[in-house]
Chains A and B, each alone.
Chain A
Amino acid sequence: MFRYLALRIAQAILTIFVTVTIVFLLIRLAPGDPAYAYAGPLATAEQLDAVRRQFGLDQPLIVQYFHFLGGIFQGDTGTSYSFRQPALSVVMDRLPYTITLAIAAIVIAIIISIPLGVWMARRQNTGREATASILTIAGQSMPDFWIGIMLVTLFSVLLPWFPSSGFETWGGLVLPALTVAILQVAVLSRIVRREVAQTLQAPFITVARSRGVAGAGLVWGYGVRNSLVPVVTALGTRFAGLLNGVVVVEVVFGWPGIGSLVVRALETRDYPLIQSTVVVTAILAVLVQLVVDLVYPLLDPRVRLGRKVVS
């Protein structure tokens, strides 16, 4: 099992490295002077020179790369010129908001999609399941920003139940979290349905039925319990999609997280900030994956104990 963990950790680190490298290369390879990218479009000649020296832009690519990496290890990913602060601190200031939104959405999604998925799995090919199926397809087919705007219109403009933007009160969390959650519920419940339906075809389910196990005990105790590994895997992979959704939703709702930060940074061409955001989100996503990977042994004794046969 430790070999498994070590492998996963190595892969996580590798992924982060590759992402960071790609970001590095992108900025350097794009048309235009990277110095402007770091100093801002309004920079003076001296500022440009200072940036060139700081980032070593006149030096060979390899040297720049190590410089860059070194900076990251020291927590320095450049200075945001639109905020006039170290980019990393700007990002970290706003990260908790994004995480709050993400967690709220995840909790809602899990609470709804697992029972929903199981419900659909048990009623395959019935009229009710077909309706649910269409609804879930619809849920994953509508653009998330549009859902957000519609929800705002309905529950903020027409029915003044919730604030339409910002995070002054906890009520402000409801609509954005719901918007993100709708898509996730749609996708996740379909995954749960597929996995549970498949597990329910397994031989051991028939054998369990032959000893009288039935109803909820059979479906949840045996069916769902044995589907947890693929479902949890899906949750982990979905986290990336979730973050994508969060970015868009933050813009719609003016949520003060890193999603709206990055969009604003793009408008002002504040590349150090963009760079930092990308790096931080990549690390976050990879960490979540790692946590999910660490959960497997808890769920599946075959991973936990290895395969030693008693004869």
Chain B
Amino acid sequence: MSVIDLNDYSVELMTAAGVLKAVDSVALTLEAGKTVTIIGESGSGKSTTAMSLLGLLDHGLAVSSGKASLLGVDAVKDRRGVDALRGRRVGLIPQDPMTALSPVHTVGAQLRQAVRRGRPGTSKADAARVAVELLGSVRIPEPETQVKKYPHQFSGGMLQRVLIAIALAAEPEILVADEPTSALDVTVQASVLDLLLELQERTGVAILLITHDLGVARLMSDTIHVMRRGRFVESGPADRLVNDPQEEYTRKLLAAVPSMTDAPAVAGAKGPTASGRRRADAGHAESDTDSAAPAAANEGEAR
């Protein structure tokens, strides 16, 4: 039973430079309990695919077309349906933990809000209790005290765990993980990924993983789709793709990885919860990133 089913799915962005086809006719299927990864460089459209699917792109900006089924809901036509799924049956783990939470609300408040959204009918007291439990389940020490803290008081790694807790608050069937470890130190990455795997085993949640990190993809995925400039260049079971890439581009991606050894100095080799799996070097697909637009100067308001 597939929880996500994309066929001939496209997303077009209406920009000042014209209409941009950010996602071009991609096809993807995600089954319950499995992990599907989209891997690609910056600007390849992988995040756009996920964001658009979840209905998080502004409709003055993005137009999606094709077939997209999200837990049975038509993601292209039924915006309301998708809205209802968010926070209940689908959760998002965002990329940068430092900017993902409202700075003026406590972590606990945001957690409780997610719990009450995801489990309708939960009382305030229950929500508070569940919030603490959730923090515990993502292995945050002393959850009762942490619940009262504000996001800026946490480190990146801890925040990412909090975000995972929030995403899980609703006991979702799908987790969309948008580059969940890219903003983290390599030592912390491993523990976060382990956590995700463990949660998947425990709850059977399906994961749609977006990443540019080959090591992460290799570790987590059942199926990998390689994305380039809006199209899926190659798709297939993780093992096969990694060991026997068919496409030129995939090969280049793999070749960009520094030589594969078991050297312990390499990313992810050490972690507090190193499991039996072999950790490969984390290879990064090299790419340029957009520079931030300089802050627009204020309007002259003094009078």
**A and B, direct touch (CB closer than 8 Å):** yes
A-B pairs with lowest CB-CB distance, top 7? A212-B87, A210-B92, A211-B87, A311-B155, A203-B99, A301-B150, A207-B100
Q: List 15 A-B contacts (CB under 8 A).
A: A190-B301, A203-B96, A204-B103, A207-B163, A210-B54, A211-B92, A211-B169, A211-B170, A214-B83, A222-B105, A225-B102, A226-B104, A299-B104, A301-B150, A301-B152
Alpha-carbon distance between A190 and B298 when the two chains are bound, in angstroms: 12
Contact flag A212-B99 (CB < 8 Å), given A191-B301, A307-B152, A310-B153 = no
A302-B56 in contact (CB<8A): no
Q: Give the distance to chain A from B190, nearest Cβ to Cβ, in Å.
A: 16
With an 8 A cutoff between CB atoms, is A169 at the interface?
no
Alpha-carbon distance between A207 and B54 when the two chains are bound, in angstroms: 11
B152-A302 in contact (CB<8A): yes
Of A125, A190, A202, A210, which contacts B91 at CB under 8 A? A210
A133-145 CB contact bits vs B (8 Å, 1 = yes)?
0000000100000
A213-B99 in contact (CB<8A): no
Contact flag A241-B153 (CB < 8 Å), given A204-B101, A300-B103 = no
By a CB distance below 8 angstroms, the chain B residues around A307 are 152-153
By a CB distance below 8 angstroms, the chain B residues around A308 are 153
Q: Give the distance to chain A from B140, nearest Cβ to Cβ, in Å.
A: 9
Q: Give the distance to chain A from B95, nearest Cβ to Cβ, in Å.
A: 8
Alpha-carbon distance between A309 and B91 when the two chains are bound, in angstroms: 27
B150-A226 in contact (CB<8A): no
By a CB distance below 8 angstroms, the chain B residues around A140 are 303
Contact flag A206-B102 (CB < 8 Å), given A211-B86, A211-B87, A234-B301 = no
Q: Give the distance to chain B from A225, nearest Cβ to Cβ, in Å.
A: 6
What interface size band does chain A fall in? 35 or more
With an 8 A cutoff between CB atoms, is B38 at the interface?
no
5 extra A-B contacts, CB within 8 A, seeds A140-B303, A209-B56: A208-B102, A210-B56, A210-B94, A225-B105, A302-B103
Of A125, A211, A301, which contacts B104 at CB under 8 A? A301
Of B86, B94, B117, which contacts A203 at CB under 8 A? B94
A211-B158 in contact (CB<8A): no
Report A182-241 residues with CB < 8 Å from chain B CB: 183, 187, 190-191, 194, 202-204, 206-214, 222, 225-226, 228, 234, 237, 241
Chain A at the B interface: SS class: helix
Give me the interface of A with B, judged by CB distance under 8 Å: 125, 140, 183, 187, 190-191, 194, 202-204, 206-214, 222, 225-226, 228, 234, 237, 241, 244, 299-302, 305, 307-311
B104-A202 in contact (CB<8A): no
Q: Give the distance to chain A from B3, nearest Cβ to Cβ, in Å.
A: 16
By a CB distance below 8 angstroms, the chain B residues around A228 are 104
B299-A212 in contact (CB<8A): no
By a CB distance below 8 angstroms, the chain B residues around A210 are 54, 56, 86-87, 91-92, 94
Alpha-carbon distance between A202 and B103 when the two chains are bound, in angstroms: 11
B83-A211 in contact (CB<8A): no
Residue of B nearest to A209 (CB): B56
By a CB distance below 8 angstroms, the chain B residues around A211 are 86-87, 91-92, 113-114, 117-118, 166-167, 169-170
Of B51, B88, B155, which contacts A212 at CB under 8 A? B88
Alpha-carbon distance between A244 and B51 when the two chains are bound, in angstroms: 49
Of A187, A302, A309, which contacts B303 at CB under 8 A? A187
Alpha-carbon distance between A226 and B87 when the two chains are bound, in angstroms: 21
By a CB distance below 8 angstroms, the chain B residues around A244 are 303
Contact flag A212-B103 (CB < 8 Å), given A308-B153, A309-B154, A310-B155 = no
B147-174 CB contact bits vs A (8 Å, 1 = yes)?
0011011110110000100110110000
A-B contact count (CB 8 A): 103
A237-B302 in contact (CB<8A): yes
By a CB distance below 8 angstroms, the chain B residues around A309 are 153-155
Alpha-carbon distance between A203 and B47 when the two chains are bound, in angstroms: 14
B87-A190 in contact (CB<8A): no
Q: Give the distance to chain A from B19, nearest Cβ to Cβ, in Å.
A: 18
Residue of B nearest to A300 (CB): B104
A207-B101 in contact (CB<8A): yes
By a CB distance below 8 angstroms, the chain A residues around B83 are 212, 214
B91-A204 in contact (CB<8A): no
With an 8 A cutoff between CB atoms, is B60 at the interface?
yes
By a CB distance below 8 angstroms, the chain A residues around B150 are 301-302, 305
By a CB distance below 8 angstroms, the chain B residues around A125 are 60
By a CB distance below 8 angstroms, the chain A residues around B157 are 311
Q: Give the distance to chain B from A188, nearest Cβ to Cβ, in Å.
A: 9
Q: Give the distance to chain A from B122, nearest Cβ to Cβ, in Å.
A: 14
With an 8 A cutoff between CB atoms, is B146 at the interface?
yes
Alpha-carbon distance between A13 and B294 when the two chains are bound, in angstroms: 35
By a CB distance below 8 angstroms, the chain B residues around A237 are 301-302
Alpha-carbon distance between A211 and B113 when the two chains are bound, in angstroms: 9
By a CB distance below 8 angstroms, the chain B residues around A310 are 146, 149, 153-155, 158
Q: Give the distance to chain A from B193, nearest Cβ to Cβ, in Å.
A: 18
Q: Give the distance to chain A from B52, nearest Cβ to Cβ, in Å.
A: 12
A203-B149 in contact (CB<8A): no
Residue of A nearest to B90 (CB): A210
Contact flag A209-B152 (CB < 8 Å), given A140-B303, A203-B94, A301-B103 = no
Alpha-carbon distance between A211 and B112 when the two chains are bound, in angstroms: 12
By a CB distance below 8 angstroms, the chain A residues around B51 are 206
Report B135-150 residues with CB < 8 Å from chain A CB: 146, 149-150
Of A190, A208, A241, A311, which contacts B299 at CB under 8 A? A190
